[in-house]
Amino acid sequence: MSKVRVGFIGAGRIADLHARGYANNPTGTLFAVADSSPGRAETRATEWHADRSYEDYREMLADPDVDAVEILLPHFLHREVAISALEAGKHVSLQKPMGVNLHEADAICEAASKANVVFRVFDNFLSYEPYRVAKKLIDEGEIGDPLTFRINVVTGKGVGGWEVHDEADLWRAIPAQSGGTPAILDLGAHMAASIYFFMGPVERVHTFSDLDINRGSLFHGSPAMITFEFEGKSDGAQRFGSWAMTHAPELEIPTDYYPDDEMIEIVGTRGIVWINRCSAKLLDAPPVSLLRDGKTRHFEDMEVDWGDSFRVGGEEFTDAIANGGQVDMSAELARAVLSFQRAAILSGEEHREVTVAEMG
């Protein structure tokens, strides 16, 4: 069986990580690259050994030899390009968040429901091995019934890491293009997806944060403390969570990528699980720890390179196309996650508790 031929729409910095998904992919290959910056698509296609390049993504969508696309573009372009790709009959992997608002999400959901293709919204945190190890422990009942969830996000001064060109951040300071409040909607998309991944849907949320969009910073919206209650279980038990974000500009964060890291704690009726690292290497600690029956176990035999989650994500995308495998975020789930993010932003703006149902 021939491999799924994938095209990248967008060849900026994050595409370097997505390219890992096709270096040794058993079911897919990076076949084409499209980017509107003069010369970039051709350069990147050569770098990644792709067969074809385009400056206009529409030419890629018109190419019958392209089976699927990964859309790696700024948020405000997601709706137009995703719908065009779906209408062209391409399988689609769309970068998080789904769109800048729920109107865009609804339009994408409608297009995805009409297309007989694989569609997902990709969040690499959900394919990060320590997350999956922790989720497996929870699903196997190691902590009993999960009761509370806590995620702590810290951004600071990267020690190591990579250079990100200014153009990657300029659009984030423009509300119409970013959707506003990057700490919650952009970087925060990972947190919101993680919350749903481990605990399920949120019912109501309360945000304490300075959401001033005029600061023009990737970190506006931070510091923040977001608290929330999950939808009720059949036994009526209440379950709560918190999401803290802090930008500490002088805090040194060892990293191979971005200057931020995330730590999670989930408390259950009989135990606690911790995920001690994600995007960077802030803590010198095992990636996953479990407390149960008075004993602490540490889990270290796993891939902890955050960038490897992109390899896993690329391979799972083409496997879903070739063999009917599962994708982590369907259109409906991605919309639900975005609803939670928008509710968190509205709460911060109006200084009140907001139900996710209010978002429509």
Residues 61, 140 within the same domain: no
**Burial state string for 144-161 with b = 16 or more CB within 10 A and e = fewer than 16:** eebbbbebbbbbbebeeb
Domain total in the chain: 2
Residues 292-310 have pLDDT tens digits of 999 999 999 999 999 999 9
In order of 45, 80, 169, 172, 262, the CA distances from 222 in angstroms are 37, 30, 16, 14, 14
Fill in the DSSP letter of residue 21: G
- Residue 24, in any domain of the structure: yes
- Residue 360, in any domain of the structure: no
- Residue 316, in any domain of the structure: yes
Rounded Cα distance between 51 and 22, Å, is 13
- Residue 39, in any domain of the structure: yes
Q: Domain of 271: which CATH number?
A: 3.30.360.10
Residues 111, 132 within the same domain: no
CB 193 within 8 A of CB 339: no
pLDDT, greater one: 209 or 67:
67
- Residue 334, in any domain of the structure: no
Residues 59, 73 within the same domain: yes
Residues 131, 119 within the same domain: no
pLDDT, greater one: 178 or 187:
187
- Residue 168, in any domain of the structure: yes
- Residue 267, in any domain of the structure: yes
Residues 157, 291 within the same domain: yes
Residues 203, 240 within the same domain: yes
- Residue 234, in any domain of the structure: yes
Residues 132, 276 within the same domain: yes
Residues 117, 239 within the same domain: no
Residues 283, 300 within the same domain: yes
Residues 118-167 have pLDDT tens digits of 999 999 999 999 999 999 999 999 999 999 999 999 999 999 988 777 66
Residues 83-105 have pLDDT tens digits of 999 999 999 999 999 999 999 99
Q: What is the mean pLDDT of the chain?
A: 94
Would you call 117 exposed, middle or buried from its count of C-beta atoms within 10 A (0-12, 13-18, 19+)? middle
Of 58, 60, 59, nearest in space to 31 by CA:
60
CB 172 within 8 A of CB 323: no
Residues 93, 139 within the same domain: no
Residues 35, 156 within the same domain: no
Residues 257, 276 within the same domain: yes
Q: Domain of 105: which CATH number?
A: 3.40.50.720
Which residue in this structure is represented by tokens 């949120």? 202
> Does the pTM exceed 0.85?
yes
Query: Which structural domain range is residue 14 located in?
Result: 4-123+310-328
Does the pLDDT at position 327 exceed 90? no
CB 191 within 8 A of CB 202: no
pLDDT of residue 218: 60
Does the pLDDT at position 214 exceed 60? no
